[in-house]
Amino acid sequence: MEAFTTETSKAIVIPNDDIDTDILIPKQFLKNILRTGFGINAFYPWRYHEDGSQVEDFPLNQKAHQGATILITGNNFGCGSSREHAVWALTDYGFRAVIAGGFSDIFFMNATKNGLLPIILPEADRAILRECQADEEVTIDLEQQVVKFRDHAFHFDINATWKEKFLKGQDDISLTEQYEAQIKAYEAKRPVFD
């Protein structure tokens, strides 16, 4: 996993609440057996017309927004299915952080596994961030736990373990393998009824 320390980038604002995983990546794209190639279809239902042509004024399609790595959105982001493909669609598009009012629990966990930083900010802060124009930048400083925009600095909370993982870009499984002795001990005392 790529480490996340600070990120300064243009931002894309999609202010809707309850953006679900069928919007982030519809199921017709879930049949891939790899982790890459999903970005082109991120936000598919809102990004493309039925005939496959682009919806011109959708932010992900606008030239001025290309290269943005920060997404600013509403409440309950990523609700719906557990598909990690929703996160892969965002990371493959190029996003490194999502700033929302809240996340579905499963989406949140998936994001933490893939170096996509989920940041929760209150409505008042996001209202200001929503003003972000195509030629402006937002900075996320994970060490300091702040989002900077214009002359504002919004503090966000993050669990210390996740923060450490992001800062170091650690892989979960190798971390857990250090607990082998405890796992073995647990297995020895698990109840079995055979």
Least distance from other proteins to the Cβ atom of residue 8, Å: 27
Q: In what order do the strands lie in the sheet with 70-73?
A: 11-14, 70-73, 97-100, 117-120
Q: Is 9 a residue that touches other proteins (CB under 8 A)?
A: no
Q: Is 37 a residue that touches other proteins (CB under 8 A)?
A: no
Q: Is 168 a residue that touches other proteins (CB under 8 A)?
A: no
* Terminal Cα-to-Cα distance of the chain (whole angstroms): 41
Residue number with CB closer to other proteins (30 or 128): 30
Q: Is 183 a residue that touches other proteins (CB under 8 A)?
A: yes
Which residues 12-31 are close enough to bind other proteins by CB under 8 A? 16-18, 20, 22-23, 26-28, 30-31
Residue number with CB closer to other proteins (39 or 80): 80
> In sequence order, what are the residues at sequence separation of 6 or more whose Cβ sits closer than 8 angstroms to the Cβ of residue 152?
125, 128
The CA–CA distances, whole Å, from 10 to 22, 72, 119, 179 equal: 25, 11, 16, 40
Q: Can you tell me which of 56, 157, 160, 188 binds other proteins, judged by CB under 8 A?
A: 160
Q: Is 188 a residue that touches other proteins (CB under 8 A)?
A: no
Phi-psi region of 54 (alpha: psi -120 to 50; beta: other; left: phi over 0): beta
Q: Can you tell me which of 69, 73, 76, 91 binds other proteins, judged by CB under 8 A?
A: 76
DSSP E strand boundaries for 62-130: 70-73, 97-100, 117-120
Q: Is 117 a residue that touches other proteins (CB under 8 A)?
A: no
Q: Which of 94, 49, 48 is nearest to 71 (CA)?
A: 94
Q: Is 80 a residue that touches other proteins (CB under 8 A)?
A: yes
Q: At what angle do helices 105-113 and 85-93 cross, to 10 degrees?
A: 50
Instruction: Name the one range near other proteins by CB under 8 A: 2-10, 52-60, 127-135, 159-167.
Output: 159-167
Q: Which two tokens stand for residue 14?
A: 């999609």
Residues in touch with other proteins (CB under 8 A):
16-18, 20, 22-23, 26-28, 30-35, 45, 50, 75-76, 79-85, 87, 102, 104-106, 109-110, 113-114, 159-162, 172-173, 176-177, 179, 182-183, 186-187, 190-191, 193-194
